[in-house]
Structure 1
Amino acid sequence: MKTVKIPLTIERGDDKTFWGRVEYKDNLITDQAESISELEKKIKNLLWDFEEVDPESVQFEHLFDISALFQRFDFLKISNVAQHAGMNPGLLRQYVSGAKNASLDQAKRIENTLHKLAGELQKAMIIA
């Protein structure tokens, strides 16, 4: 079975649910759920219903808005991420809450900071 990679855009709703959307063969498919795994399942079922794409063959590439990212990875401390990104923590909190929208440059700055921190974590070793 051939794997089908599909970008899944994930946003946080006002009620803190996850909203997702995919574009497949010029069709926009959307749904919402309490968790990302539930959202993936619902979108896969819709892909089957509308496009007959086997759910077992679908692999999603997650694209998060800033608010959904910090909701999904709630262990991230906003003030620490802001400090590493060289930005005002209050401004990042406004992006996360949805009070303000980040520019493309600011979003890339946050993304690059998170990737850098993840790289550092991958290199860490724990001894017992």
Structure 2
Amino acid sequence: MLNRTIEVFIEKTEDGTYWGTSQNFEGIITTFGESLEELKTNFEEAFADHMELAKETNEDYANDYDNITFQYEMDISSFFELVPELKISYIAKKANMNESLVRQYKNGITAASQDQAKKIQQAVHELGRELLSVKF
């Protein structure tokens, strides 16, 4: 029995629905939710249903996925749609990047390189840590 991580790519559509699709798994699992939490719940239930069926039909891979975790990922544009309260200018400054370029990533005009995406991710995580440290 192996520990496995299932990557789930998340997109947010124009109507506000979240879609999740497996990325590194035999077959494809995809589902949706009205919120990010609902999507995660729905995806994990769909995965469990798929694995139950795979075991019933004696699929070769069925027993390789008993100890799994899910890693949810999204593109930069979807992230900024998820959290519209974030100011592009603040994240760009924190990431030491050009605001106009980050705005292009947000609007899907230009795709960020892996290095640029990591800078944005680090800036967002740093902001998250700062917010978590606040006490009232």
- Is structure 2 residue 123 aligned with structure 1 residue 117? no
Deviates more, 1:67-76 or 1:108-117: 67-76
Q: Which residue of 1 aligns with 2:58?
A: none
Question: Where does the alignment leave 5 or more consecutive residues of structure 2 unmatched?
Answer: 54-66
- Is structure 2 residue 75 aligned with structure 1 residue 65? yes
Q: How many residues matched?
A: 121
Q: Which residue of 2 aligns with 1:81?
A: 91
Report the 3-state secondary structure (helix = DSSP H, G, I; strand = E; otherwise coil) of the residue aligned with 2:22: strand
- The Cα of 1:123 is off from its aligned counterpart by 2.5
Normalised to the residue count of structure 1, the TM-score between the two structures is 0.73
Q: 1:25 to 1:60 in 2, by over 3 A?
A: closer
**Matched-pair contact (CA < 8 Å) for 2:6–2:25:** no
Q: Which residue of 2 aligns with 1:37?
A: 37
**Matched-pair contact (CA < 8 Å) for 1:12–1:65:** no
Whole-Å Cα distance in 2 between the matches of residues 90 and 70 of structure 1?
14
In the TM superposition, 1:92-107 aligns within 5 A as 92-107=102-117
Structure 2 residue identity aligned to 1:36: L
Q: Alignment identity in percent?
A: 37
Q: 1:36 to 1:62 in 2, by over 3 A?
A: same
Question: Where does the alignment leave 5 or more consecutive residues of structure 1 unmatched?
Answer: none
Q: Which residue of 2 aligns with 1:11?
A: 11
Report the 3-state secondary structure (helix = DSSP H, G, I; strand = E; otherwise coil) of the residue aligned with 2:28: strand
Whole-Å Cα distance in 1 between the matches of residues 133 and 51 of structure 2?
42
Whole-Å Cα distance in 2 between the matches of residues 16 and 98 of structure 1?
17
Normalised to the residue count of structure 2, the TM-score between the two structures is 0.70
RMSD (Å), alpha carbons? 2.8
- The Cα of 1:87 is off from its aligned counterpart by 1.5
